[in-house]
Structure 1
Amino acid sequence: MVGADQRRITNAMNTLPITDVDQAMLGRTSQFFQQIVNHDQNSTYWQDLDRSGTVPDVTVPVSSVTGWYDIFLADQLRDFTTLVDAGREPRLTVGPWWHADPRGMGASVTEVAEWASAVATGQEPPPRAPVRLYVMGADEWRDFETWPPAGYEPQRLYLRADGTLTATTGSTEPPSTFTYDPGDPTPSLGGAKLTPAGAGPVDNRKLEERPDVLTFTGAPLTDDLEVIGEVTADIWVRADRPSVDVFVRLCDVDPNGKSLNVCDDLVHLDVGDDTTCATVRLSPTAYHFKKGHQLRVQVSAGAFPRFARNLGGGEPVESATAVHKTNIEVFHDEAHPSTVTIPAR
């Protein structure tokens, strides 16, 4: 039965147009699914249901528990900073977990027992800093006064045409090129997922061997490097199709060559024939890169099925059916420096 279920899921994931996925999976129309695929997150359709503007009005005590590979991480961090800006005193715990990870569930139960029970009975909860973060790589918990923590300065790294990652840019370097084929889409591997199977940090070496994944690798670190906060990338691209997706991932490469994903995200661009800068806000992180390890940045045009395939025709993603290969250039010259910026110390 498990095998049959997996085959049905795989078939549904590959169904085009996306509006027919519910029929392939369930054998019927799902109103909830149709609402989601026909109205993206910026649609006015959702404005009456959007409560993000009321977060500053929350006055009850708030404690958020999340994980570095949880799909809701960015939302919870945004709510935390919104509450702080409104003069509230929220509490935040972020562990090395993904969504539905038993370790995160256990932390939530502990938080209820130690913090919420005290608050509910009018007592003072056990003293603790407002922010507690698990620093991956160092494998230890740290306490901070706020998010993002102070003391981590922006450090810009440049993606070079020779596949290196350096602190300086090139002046006249040629672009790197690759082809994205929606018929053989770049697969998603690890990272943030709603289901726990295959989520979190995994070895990316097989993924990085694909011709549709560009990698840019720094020199072995001469000292430990700690990155805590928001990671961003500015990737200059040009494509021969009307639209393209840009997926960026930061990895930690150990001395044996194992490449573990740290954080990532994807953006959609309508590009035409123009050279365009894709600004990607990778998921926030707290990661300790050890001496001798290397930072690596992946650039690709998809992560399927975590993200729907961009079919390259420029049609609405929910109704597109025609599949087009897309030839993509990533620029490195002085006028178009592709970079990743990390908060580091």
Structure 2
Amino acid sequence: MLRILLSCLLCVSLSVGLAQAQSFEGYEAEFPETLVTRFDVRVAMRDGVHLSTDIYLPDGEGPFPTLLVRDIYSNGTTAVRQRYARFATSNGYAFVFQSSRGRYDSEGIWTPYFDEIDDGDDTLSWIAEQPWSNGRVGMFGSSYLASVQWLAALNGNPALKAIAPAVSPGNYYRDVAYPGGAFSLLSRARWGLGLVGSRTNTNYPVDWVRAVNHLPLVTLAEQLGFDVPHFQDWLAHPSYDDYWRPLNLEARANEMSVPALNIGGWYDVFLRSTLGSFQTMQSEAATADARAGQRLLIGPWNHAWNQGSQVGDLEFGESSLIAVEPLLLAWFDHWLRDGPAPEGAPVTLFVMGENVWREEQEWPLARTVYTPYYLHADGRLSEAPAEAPGQLEYRYDPADPVPTLGGNIMEPSLRGPREQSPLDTRTDILRFETAVFEAPMEITGPVRAVLHASSSAPDTDFMAKLVVVRADGTAYNLVDGVLRARYRDGFESPELIEPGEVYAYDIDLWATSYLLSPGERLRLDVTSSNFPRLARNLNTGAPFATTSDFVVAEQTLHLGGEHPSRLILPVIPR
């Protein structure tokens, strides 16, 4: 696959402008002259609900392999969706577009995610039975259009031969709703209420960044004029329970037997799941072909992947963009037409800082040296443990939370790498910094922080953000993570903390790939809020979303001796 990818990268820089770099944005193929279309075909699901489905058939007698897109954001008439149809039919595939249950012209009531399992399965079976179909189906699409691919795969439908999910969730509790046990407030409110809270996409006149300041969260939707059951369901299930369990696709890998081209971005809101789905499918998928048929491609992108060479405040160069259509065509030609196997290694990563693509055999990389960097009371971050025990303190006030500045979030104005100096004056952030690196050092892989901390509150949050400080003093976020104190021992059984007692908080900062240059430093920022990306912990220990009461928490970070607070970096030898 790498040879194909590299040729795509070259053709992007030579012939495709930035405005055309987004997936399918510049796809100029025409429909075949003898295109056959059938619009708004009513396809029956097992419960009698009919879904609006469009069919596009290419030149030739057939039967054809089919590419399927199931969608909640369109009825198939938008320019991008029409490019999907042109891509498929101009390359000899039948194309089927379907609006999900309860969306646009499809019958029924839409409940995010759950109905896509059986509806996807029923649609695959229907396609396989059509006279124009050869029984081989592939699926592609991004975000929710990627979710429906994994969900359709759960029933093991033999017609589904391959998928290509981009920027897709896979563990809906940990990625979509409650990363680290903290509610993903801005993304869930803006998406779950504002974008998909009606039958069709609607841009309501709501300033979401300001609106989510409302407390208690359980009345947020009502306050804004919405009545959306699924949003209330999310608030009612702050722990990992039977509501979320069916949507933990990583735990259900052994039920799926589909090869997948997993595409993600280092700054995507669903990065953790893109990596996790690849790993669990490689090791646990139901068939040997599916286990061997996993591919992983991670670029320097946010959720709007491959749209431009600048992401957030950083420029990654035109080589960071890929020509998606040849990549997908090679993928589906192999699995649906018995074409050549994808060339190259299973993993292709973009190394930021160096700004190059590189092939790897596995994820995480086998040669990784996990290296602890210890936090010191004088603000140092070093490989040497603290010489003596120490501690640092800060106050977390829910009325004045640390504002979101960059990261893996959907909100376009906040996501991606952002210069961090606007936060320099805040006193509720503890900062730890390495010495200047004298030689290049690469970090590629999962990143963790183990913080030994105590609080005056019965529940609170602890957060860590890894930052690159450049030689000129500018600082940009790489990765961050959070852990709600009550979930320190797992997300199924919350347990409040004893005020004043020291606990170890093992914080998952997800993953990154960055080559540090001589003259650069790493910094770890420790705090207790990231608002409005994450709902504030009100520090009272009350049930989530039900109260407006809050207290200020006095936080103490313990360092050295029995409490070796540390950052664990995935160092790649060079």
Q: Same fold (TM over 0.5)?
A: yes
2:533 corresponds in structure 1 to 306
2:233 corresponds in structure 1 to 35
Matched, 1:60 2:258: yes
2:316 corresponds in structure 1 to none
1:97 corresponds in structure 2 to 301
Matched, 1:20 2:219: yes
Contact 1:249 1:264 in 2 (8 A): yes
1:129 corresponds in structure 2 to 345
CA drift of 1:331 comes to: 0.8
The SS at the match of 1:233 is strand
Matched, 1:186 2:402: yes
**Unaligned residue ranges in structure 2 (runs of 5+):** 1-202, 309-320, 486-495
Which runs of structure 2 are paired with 1:144-155 in the superposition (5 Å)? 144-155=360-371
Q: Give the Cα separation in 2 of the matches to 1:243 and 1:106.
A: 45
Letter in 2 for 1:127: E
> Looking at both structures, which has the greater relative contact order when contacts are Cα pairs under 8 Å and sequence separation is at least 6?
1
1:282 corresponds in structure 2 to 509
Which runs of structure 2 are paired with 1:288-327 in the superposition (5 Å)? 288-327=515-554
Q: Cα deviation per residue 1:203-246 (whole Å; 9 max; x = unaligned)?
A: 11221331011100000001111011111110011111111101
Q: Cα deviation per residue 1:82-120 (whole Å; 9 max; x = unaligned)?
A: 122135120000000011234399665443233223322
2:442 corresponds in structure 1 to 226
Which runs of structure 2 are paired with 1:249-268 in the superposition (5 Å)? 249-268=465-484
Q: Give the Cα separation in 2 of the matches to 1:258 and 1:64.
A: 33
Contact 2:460 2:539 in 1 (8 A): yes
Q: Give the Cα separation in 1 of the matches to 2:249 and 2:419.
A: 38
1:118 corresponds in structure 2 to 334
Which runs of structure 2 are paired with 1:65-104 in the superposition (5 Å)? 65-86=263-284, 87=288, 88-89=291-292, 90-103=294-307
2:61 corresponds in structure 1 to none
Contact 2:453 2:505 in 1 (8 A): yes
Q: Cα deviation per residue 1:26-66 (whole Å; 9 max; x = unaligned)?
A: x0221010011111250222334444433133222211000
Alignment CA distance shift 1:318-1:174 (3 Å): same
The SS at the match of 2:263 is strand
The SS at the match of 1:22 is helix
The SS at the match of 2:330 is helix
2:566 corresponds in structure 1 to 339
Contact 2:216 2:545 in 1 (8 A): yes
Q: TM-score, normalised by structure 2?
A: 0.57
Alignment CA distance shift 1:119-1:279 (3 Å): same
Alignment CA distance shift 1:244-1:109 (3 Å): farther
Q: Cα deviation per residue 1:298-341 (whole Å; 9 max; x = unaligned)?
A: 10001001110011111122112112111101111211111000
Alignment CA distance shift 1:125-1:208 (3 Å): farther
Contact 1:8 1:24 in 2 (8 A): no
The SS at the match of 2:543 is coil
Q: Is 57-66 or 234-243 further displaced after alignment?
A: 57-66
Matched, 1:272 2:498: yes
Q: Give the Cα separation in 2 of the matches to 1:10 and 1:95.
A: 27
Q: Give the Cα separation in 2 of the matches to 1:103 and 1:149.
A: 27
Matched, 1:208 2:434: no
Q: Give the Cα separation in 2 of the matches to 1:286 and 1:277.
A: 26
Letter in 1 for 2:223: A
CA drift of 1:70 comes to: 0.9
Alignment CA distance shift 1:295-1:328 (3 Å): same
Contact 1:242 1:312 in 2 (8 A): yes
CA RMSD of aligned residues (A): 2.0
Contact 1:234 1:340 in 2 (8 A): yes
Q: Cα deviation per residue 1:132-171 (whole Å; 9 max; x = unaligned)?
A: 0000111000000110112120110001000110111224
Alignment CA distance shift 1:40-1:195 (3 Å): same
Q: Is 277-286 or 112-121 further displaced after alignment?
A: 112-121
1:247 corresponds in structure 2 to 463
Q: Is 257-266 or 100-109 further displaced after alignment?
A: 100-109
1:10 corresponds in structure 2 to 209
The SS at the match of 2:560 is coil
The SS at the match of 2:350 is strand
Q: Is 34-43 or 118-127 further displaced after alignment?
A: 118-127
Contact 1:12 1:24 in 2 (8 A): no
CA drift of 1:184 comes to: 0.7
Letter in 1 for 2:400: D
Contact 2:266 2:301 in 1 (8 A): yes
Q: TM-score, normalised by structure 1?
A: 0.93
Q: Give the Cα separation in 2 of the matches to 1:282 and 1:60.
A: 29
The SS at the match of 1:163 is coil
Alignment CA distance shift 1:272-1:61 (3 Å): same
User: Kindly, what percent of the aligned residue pairs are identical?
Assistant: 30
**Unaligned residue ranges in structure 1 (runs of 5+):** none
The SS at the match of 1:148 is coil
Q: Give the Cα separation in 1 of the matches to 2:377 and 2:222.
A: 45
Letter in 2 for 1:37: L
Contact 1:246 1:299 in 2 (8 A): yes
Q: Which entry has the higher C-alpha Rg, 1 or 2?
A: 2
CA drift of 1:126 comes to: 4.4
Contact 2:445 2:511 in 1 (8 A): yes
